[in-house]
């Protein structure tokens, strides 16, 4: 409202930095913005709805007989593999959309507001967990339809789903970084795919690692994606939590610790 | 971590910039700009496209880091204390800085929440602002369906949520129809009455004339003149005289006569056979017309116009305003690459 209540500068309470509380509040508001945008343009959810359905059907029936003898006994192996692959692939979109979003004028306003610098990024990444959730639910649902009955029980399946979503959120910082430094949205897609293909395919997602040549087996074993897949398999198939679970969380934390500050710094510079 | 009163902030200068420089590659978009703006005024930054107006504003608004020089907003340095500066400014860019896919209300609510207002407060503030800017009817529509004028109004509304003491407006009326433009001018005047300081950029002398208390003329990244609008206009003459002659061959001799009689530099447009010169006293026109007849130069047209930015430019810089338009595309592409 334009009125006469302008507070003189010397009487204003000015803060030099945004505290943790403000950072969290700002990020949540930005996440709310992300959700509103998804609601306005539901067509951008095509990939997260179709990919789990198509991939699960395709890979299960193509590889099932060859690897596990029949489709039924392949399901406990492939569903966690597909789940991790699909959800992590989905996190690429975060980077691509961030790039598109940043080119719009509204990001200028976000930069000129006294908000936590990380909020526009953290909020966008947080809103995208809704996409991972959709992909996770659909993959499990597809598996269930095809006859997958995890022995770990519903509770552990949900737990595994949350683990995958958290890890994908961590991974999405890598793609957000590409999103911030790249010039165009399509180049983000390109670079991200180059990173993603080796990570998801050179793992234990689709085939047993022991059939690979030695050097490849070495990579597949250290690959953090393999640890995540193994952790999910243990959770869903036997309800157990082991070293892979811990390794996954450590890996996710390391990614965030490295890439979140890098991304925010690049974001601040790119003006 | 509240900064104590008078620690570094002060109310003496709203904007205090010294030797601001910004380079995009080899192009010096801003090449040593000094600005001093007192609180409570409308300050106009006048210049053609590509003169460095937008780049200057972006540096003052902490959106762009200066390569050299310094700038203070109410005494707070834009590089050292950007977060404090951001609490004191509102920025309305040349291109709408609002969210296209959301509605007007959603936009304002999100900005209000980011500025620390509670849920109910944010709703209240948004509807107040929408009413203030006559956008209530369009509140629930996505911005895609908004006209240019409505978008600008929403943009300005978004800059006023926190009632910042300093508001940057980058070409607030470019592309608006005359009626909407007048509304925008009204709003800007009311803002200043409420105690805000407004720094606006414009390409139009008329706009600066209508609104600004003081004006800085900027050209090729430098401030080439500064003063009140009246001072600026006096340097150009109150109006300019345009003469079109029938025989282009005589253009140069006609120009000599014009400059001799009016005692001022002139511009010629050879293609149109036109000469333009500032006219300080209307009386001299008679002398000029007589001199033309004596020299047997036939005139096709004589007209008097208010000084345009072109004339201000010519007088102050000695070159035409359009000459620097080429740098605009450079500046833009340079900015993209950063």
- Give pLDDT tens digits for A35-78: 998 888 888 888 888 888 998 899 899 988 888 888 888 999 89
Tell me how far the alpha carbon of residue B51 is from its chain's centroid: 10
Position B14 scores a pLDDT of 92
pLDDT interval class at B55 (50, 70, 90) = very high
Architecture label for domain B237-306: 2-Layer Sandwich (3.30)
- Chain A CA closest to residue B197: A6
Q: Which of B97, B217, B14 is nearest to A8 (CA)?
A: B14
Q: Which two tokens stand for residue A180?
A: 């911030």
Query: Does residue A88 carry a pLDDT above 60?
Result: yes
Q: Do B160 and A29 touch (CB under 8 A)?
A: no
Q: Do B63 and A112 touch (CB under 8 A)?
A: yes
Residue B110: list chain A partners with CB under 8 A: 29, 32-33, 36
B76/B62 Cα distance (integer angstroms): 11
Nearest-CB residue to B81 (from A11, A16, A108): A16
Could you read off the pLDDT of B255-291 as tens digits, one per residue? 888 888 888 888 888 777 888 887 777 788 888 889 9
- Interface test mutation site (partner A, options B114, B146, B189, max chain A beta carbons within 10 A): B114
Position B334 scores a pLDDT of 39
- Which superfamily is assigned to B15-233 in CATH? P-loop containing nucleotide triphosphate hydrolases (3.40.50.300)
Query: Does residue A235 carry a pLDDT above 60?
Result: yes
Q: What is the ipTM of this complex?
A: 0.83
Mean pLDDT of chain B: 83
The alpha carbon of residue A25 is apart from the nearest alpha carbon of chain B, in Å, by 8
Q: Which of A109, A208, A255 is nearest to B62 (CA)?
A: A109
Q: What is the largest CA-CA distance in chain B?
A: 79
A89 CB-near residues (< 8 Å, 6+ apart): A51, A196, A200
Nearest-CB residue to A2 (from B1, B58, B191): B191
- Chain B CA closest to residue A112: B86
Residue B39: list chain A partners with CB under 8 A: 9
Position B332 scores a pLDDT of 40
Range 92-111 of A in CB contact (< 8 A) with B: 104-111
Out of A161-175, B219-233, B268-282, which region has the weakest mean confidence (pLDDT)?
Answer: B268-282
Nearest-CB residue to B2 (from A7, A14, A30): A14
In contact, A95 and A263? CB cutoff 8 Å: no
Query: Does residue B31 carry a pLDDT above 60?
Result: yes
Mean pLDDT of chain A: 88
Position B2 scores a pLDDT of 46
Out of A67-81, A105-119, B276-290, B317-331, which region has the weakest mean confidence (pLDDT)?
Answer: B317-331
The residue extents of the domains of chain B are 15-233, 237-306
- Contact A211/B at CB under 8 A: no
Position B328 scores a pLDDT of 39
pLDDT interval class at B98 (50, 70, 90) = confident
Q: Do B132 and A119 touch (CB under 8 A)?
A: no
In contact, B277 and B267? CB cutoff 8 Å: yes
pLDDT interval class at B309 (50, 70, 90) = low
Q: Which of A133, A146, A147, A150 is nearest to A240 (CA)?
A: A150
B201/B186 Cα distance (integer angstroms): 16
Going through chain B in order, the beta strands assigned E by DSSP cover 15-24, 27-37, 42-46, 68-73, 76-77, 89-92, 166-170, 197-202, 214-219, 222-228, 239-245, 267-269, 274-279, 299-305
């Amino acid at each position: 409202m334009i009125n006469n209540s302008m507070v003189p500068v010397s009487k204003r309470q000015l803060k030099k930095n945004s505290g943790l509380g403000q950072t969290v509040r700002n990020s949540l508001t930005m996440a709310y913005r992300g959700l509103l945008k998804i609601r306005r343009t539901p067509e951008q959810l095509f990939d997260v709805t179709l990919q789990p359905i198509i991939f699960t059907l395709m890979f299960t029936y193509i590889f099932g007989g060859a690897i596990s003898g029949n489709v039924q006994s392949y399901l406990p192996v492939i569903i966690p593999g597909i789940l991790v692959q699909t959800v992590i692939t989905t996190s690429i979109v975060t980077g691509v959309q961030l790039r598109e979003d940043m080119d719009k004028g509204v990001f200028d306003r976000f930069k000129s507001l006294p908000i936590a610098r990380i909020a526009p990024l953290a909020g966008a990444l947080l809103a995208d967990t809704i996409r991972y959730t959709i992909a996770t639910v659909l993959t499990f649902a597809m598996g269930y339809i095809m006859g997958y009955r995890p022995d770990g029980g519903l509770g552990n399946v949900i737990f595994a789903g949350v683990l995958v979503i958290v890890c994908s959120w961590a991974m999405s910082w890598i793609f957000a970084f590409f999103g911030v430094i790249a010039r165009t949205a399509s180049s983000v897609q390109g670079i991200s795919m180059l990173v993603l293909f080796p990570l998801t395919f050179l793992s234990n997602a689709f085939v047993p690692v022991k059939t690979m040549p030695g050097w490849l087996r070495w990579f597949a074993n250290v690959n953090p994606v393999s640890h995540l897949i193994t952790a999910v398999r243990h959770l869903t198939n036997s309800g157990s939590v082991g070293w892979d679970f811990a390794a996954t969380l450590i890996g996710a934390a390391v990614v965030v610790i490295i890439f979140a500050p890098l991304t925010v710094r690049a974001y601040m510079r790119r003006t | 971590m509240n900064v104590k009163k008078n620690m570094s902030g002060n109310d003496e200068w709203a904007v205090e910039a010294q030797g601001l420089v910004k380079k995009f590659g080899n192009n010096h978009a801003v090449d040593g700009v000094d600005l001093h703006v007192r609180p409570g005024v409308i300050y106009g930054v006048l210049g053609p496209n590509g003169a460095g107006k937008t780049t200057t504003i972006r540096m003052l608004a902490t959106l762009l880091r200066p390569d050299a020089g310094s700038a203070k907003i109410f005494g707070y340095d834009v590089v050292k204390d950007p977060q404090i500066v951001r609490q004191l400014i509102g920025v309305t860019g040349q291109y709408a800085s609002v969210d296209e896919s959301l509605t007007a209300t959603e936009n304002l609510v999100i900005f209000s929440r980011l500025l620390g207002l509670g849920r109910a407060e944010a709703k209240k503030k948004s509807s107040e602002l929408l009413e203030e800017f006559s956008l209530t009817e369009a509140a629930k529509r996505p911005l895609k369906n908004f006209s240019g004028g409505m978008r600008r109004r929403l943009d300005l509304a978004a800059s006023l949520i926190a009632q910042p003491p300093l508001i940057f407006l980058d070409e607030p009326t470019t592309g608006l129809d005359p009626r909407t433009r007048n509304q925008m001018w009204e709003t800007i005047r009311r803002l200043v009455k409420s105690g805000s300081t407004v720094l606006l950029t414009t390409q139009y002398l008329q706009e600066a004339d209508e609104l600004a208390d003081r004006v800085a003329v900027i050209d090729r990244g430098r401030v080439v003149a500064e003063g009140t609008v009246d001072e600026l206009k006096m340097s150009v003459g109150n109006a300019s005289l345009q003469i079109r002659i029938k025989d282009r061959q005589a253009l140069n001799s006609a120009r000599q006569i014009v400059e001799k009689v009016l005692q001022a530099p002139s511009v010629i447009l050879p293609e149109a056979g036109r000469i333009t010169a500032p006219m300080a006293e209307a009386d001299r026109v008679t002398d000029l017309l007589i001199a033309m007849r004596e020299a047997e130069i036939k005139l096709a047209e004589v007209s008097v116009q208010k000084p345009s930015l072109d004339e201000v430019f010519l007088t102050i810089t000695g070159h035409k305003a359009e000459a620097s338009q080429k740098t605009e595309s450079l500046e833009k592409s340079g900015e993209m690459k950063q």
